[in-house]
Structure 1
C-alpha cells in the first residue's frame, strides 16, 4: 500500500481500511500464538500499513478535512 494511494481516499474510507487492517493484525497474532502462522513477514507489513493510515489520518485532521 502506497501513501499516495492513501492520500487520495477520504477519512471514512481510511477508517474502514484501518478497521480491516486491525482485524487482520488480530488474526495474525492469533495464528502466531497457536503456531499456525505461515508468513511471519505479514505481521510487519500489516503494522506498517496501519502506521501509514494513521499518519495520513493525522495529516488530514491537521489540515481540517472531515468525512
Structure 2
C-alpha cells in the first residue's frame, strides 16, 4: 500500500502518526520474515521505509508552513 504524496497531504497530523506507526509495525514484521526466510515480496521492505520517510517529510513541511502563518 504505497502512500501517494497528495493522499498524505490530505491527512491530519494524527492520521499521519497512525500511518507511521502502522508502517513501522509492518516493517518490523517484514524484517522478521526476511530473517526467517519467509519473505516473498522483498521490495515491500523498501516501499515501507520510503513511505515512512515520505510521511515524515510532508508532516515536517506542514509544521513549517503552520509556524510561518503564526
Q: What is the Cα deviation at residue 60 of structure 1?
A: 1.3
Superposition misfits of 4+ residues, deviation over 3 angstroms: none
In terms of Rg, which structure is larger?
2
Q: What runs of 5+ residues in structure 1 fail to find an aligned partner?
A: none
Paired positions, count? 65
Match of 1:40 in 2: 42
Tell me the TM-score normalised to structure 1 length: 0.91
Cα RMSD between the aligned structures?
A: 1.1
Q: What runs of 5+ residues in structure 2 fail to find an aligned partner?
A: none
Tell me the TM-score normalised to structure 2 length: 0.87
